[in-house]
Structure 1
Amino acid sequence: MQAPHSQLISNLQAQIHDCLKDYIQPDRHLACLDFPDIKNCGDSAIWLGQMAYLRNWHKVQPNYISRMKDFSKSAMLKRIGDGQIFLHGGGNFGDIWLGHQKFREMVLNKLPGRQIVQFPQSIHFQSKTHLESARRAIGRHGNFVLLVRDEKSLHFAQQQFDCVVKLCPDMAFCIGDIPTDKPSLPILAMLRQDKEKASNVAINLPSGIPCEDWMTENKMDVRRAKFSGIKSAIRDRAFSEIRLRMLNAAANNRFQRGIKQISRAQAIVTDRLHVHICSLLIGRPHAALDNNYGKIYGFMDTFSGKTPLSHKAASLEEGIAWAQQQI
């Protein structure tokens, strides 16, 4: 009999497949754009979930991948022909992380009429100007499929954008259950230090509870991982997979760093969506504070909040108190 969190993961994977199955054709090449070559372990979790979905459900992998900085329309079309194009999922549809939105609109503008599928995103715009830019790009393109991961984003997108919009869980769930070592400390606070951090949270933790984030990495470790990925492609004479293996290795390095970090604790308090998701993947109790625009609670209310492993905390103090009851 499956544990409750394992059943939740299986159910969400089934929902993901139901959303995406009509957009994957195994006899056609495909591209995945906007690889997250950044420190955030959550983005790497999303990427690895996307790769796991393509591999485990469809027996395919991307024929072309790119970061924002090295995207080439001509190189992509040379590799995929009339194949499918996917954009990386996450929480950057909008203008909080404007570089990703500008990249998305650039791709739409360069490939009018060509079906482009957006892996699940949360949407948040602060500027009417930026929203209008997105609306124009989507409207001109004419064949955009937008997957969103909460009800608020769904209703917003249906009202604002002329495209197919579907509700879909976060792709990180396609990684599945993750076994871990036994925890070595009671409680860990994983709190953002960036512009999405929970509103009005003063970090004043009881003694013995460490406060961390997962944005610190050893650059040499990541470089070694990338080099290992390159070597594996050369060893297997899979020269067309050199970039794919290099970047997948970097994503796996970052993801494993995050899993190792949070699995040290018996219980976790966080305002990061993917600490919530990864805590479910490792079966660890955790209290969630919402981020500054409602992304975490929106996702939990839509997909993942009905489990005894997670608790929506109104304050850091309440989250700590709940976590203490779990150990």
Structure 2
Amino acid sequence: MPELGDTERARGLAALRDRFDRALAAWLGDDRDVVILDYPNHDNVGDSLIWLGTRDSLRRLGVRVAYATSNEYLRPELVDRLAGLPVLFHGGGNFGDMWPATHTTRLEMIRRFPDRRVLLLPQSVHFEAPDGDRETVRTLTGHPDLTLFVRDEPSLSWATAAGVRAELVPDAAFATEPRRLPRPRGTGAVAVWRSDKEARPGQELGPAAAGLTRTDWPEDLAPARRAFMAAMRLHVLLRAPRGVRRAAVLACDLMAARELRRGIALLADAPVLVTDRLHGAVLGLMTGRTVCRVDNTYGKLAAVLDLWWPGEPAIATAATRAEAEAWAVGRAGAA
């Protein structure tokens, strides 16, 4: 029998799935075919979780993905062939100037398709440079039919001030079907720490304590990823006839599912998790773990988790990685 806390968590997740589905259904209206751009062809497991949540929601709504591709293999002329279909952009935390390559491509594609309905799936908006958002504001407000879904209130405030049509919507990861998310059955604790520029400085750690495993989403050049990239190159070479477009969508789905399984395996079946990755925390909560979070450089974790999962007893907060690891060791030892 599930414990009361597990039941309440499941109800909360079901409510978030439903809210995401309703927001997406309202935007889509009668459209039943879409294009999705910006497949996350990299090693951030959280982005694969976002992709799968989006795809699960579209399936529940009976919406087909006519074409999908990652930025490396994006050829706008192939999207041109699918005249009239709405264009969706993958959600996440790369909206702004911290990850400029992805954001620049996104803006280029928005300008390329002024005749399409465009939806930016739930984003966290963050600009480091003063006035670094000028081009973004011009591009978004200059499109005649664009909507920005945002996943936190600071991002909604930015959009409102900029005059961008926006709606507050849960992160797409929350829309993932529970069948994809096995619960932990082991013991101990795991720490998933960022090793990129979103990690707060001054977070050095000594040797890991007994019973604690440290990791991050690792780089992966396994045959499956090479096969994915070969499939995407082939679809460009063949100029994406209908059957090849379907194969490209399937390749994205299969690769994202593989990445999620790899991420779950990295959690080492431990019931206690500490992390400064938003989707490390989200994945931990969705799989029934107890989580302690340390925020990233601009407060992304608090902005999202406190909004959509307020007062959750399974979430603790620490100011530093060392503090979080001490909490995890104590929690795992008491279990």
| Superposition pairs of residues 50-65 of structure 1, within 5 angstroms | 50-56=54-60, 58-65=61-68
Query: d(CA) in 1 for partners of 2:231 and 2:98?
Result: 34
Query: d(CA) in 2 for partners of 1:107 and 1:238?
Result: 24
Q: 2:309 aligns with which of 304, 307, 314?
A: 304
| SS of corresponding position for 1:121 | strand
Q: Report the residue type matching 2:165 in the other structure.
A: V
Is the CA contact (8 Å cut-off) linking 2:205 and 2:322 kept in structure 1?
Answer: no
* RMSD of aligned alpha carbons: 2.3
Q: 2:52 aligns with which of 31, 41, 48?
A: 48
Q: Report the residue type matching 1:105 in the other structure.
A: L
Name 1:173's counterpart in structure 2. Answer: 174
Name 2:38's counterpart in structure 1. Answer: 34
Are 1:12 and 2:13 matched, yes or no?
no
Runs of 4+ in 1 over 4 A off after TM superposition: 224-229, 237-240
Name 1:106's counterpart in structure 2. Answer: 108
Q: 1:214 aligns with which of 217, 221, 224?
A: 217
1:9-51 Cα shifts (integer Å, max 9, x gaps): 1111122123221122465421000011111111111111111
Name 1:68's counterpart in structure 2. Answer: 71
1:122-147 Cα shifts (integer Å, max 9, x gaps): 01001235310101111221321001
Query: d(CA) in 2 for partners of 1:306 and 1:263?
Result: 27
Q: 1:241 aligns with which of 221, 226, 246?
A: 246
- Report the alpha carbon displacement of residue 228 of structure 1 after superposing the two structures with TM: 10
Q: 2:324 aligns with which of 314, 319, 323?
A: 319
Are 1:271 and 2:276 matched, yes or no?
yes
Name 1:155's counterpart in structure 2. Answer: 157
1:251-298 Cα shifts (integer Å, max 9, x gaps): 111111001111521201100000111011111111000001110111
Query: d(CA) in 1 for partners of 2:32 and 2:10?
Result: 32
Provide the aligned length of Structure 1 versus Structure 2: 317
Q: Report the residue type matching 2:109 in the other structure.
A: V
Is the CA contact (8 Å cut-off) linking 1:26 and 1:60 kept in structure 2?
Answer: no
Is the CA contact (8 Å cut-off) linking 2:43 and 2:220 kept in structure 1?
Answer: yes
Is the CA contact (8 Å cut-off) linking 1:143 and 1:163 kept in structure 2?
Answer: no
Name 1:203's counterpart in structure 2. Answer: 205
Is the CA contact (8 Å cut-off) linking 2:32 and 2:62 kept in structure 1?
Answer: no
TM-score normalized by structure 2? 0.87
| SS of corresponding position for 2:84 | coil
TM-score normalized by structure 1? 0.89
Name 1:124's counterpart in structure 2. Answer: 126
Query: d(CA) in 2 for partners of 1:284 and 1:11?
Result: 19
| SS of corresponding position for 1:91 | strand
Name 2:194's counterpart in structure 1. Answer: 192
Unaligned runs of 5+ in 1: 230-236
- Report the alpha carbon displacement of residue 299 of structure 1 after superposing the two structures with TM: 0.6
Name 1:234's counterpart in structure 2. Answer: none
Query: d(CA) in 2 for partners of 1:221 and 1:72?
Result: 23
Is the CA contact (8 Å cut-off) linking 2:292 and 2:317 kept in structure 1?
Answer: yes
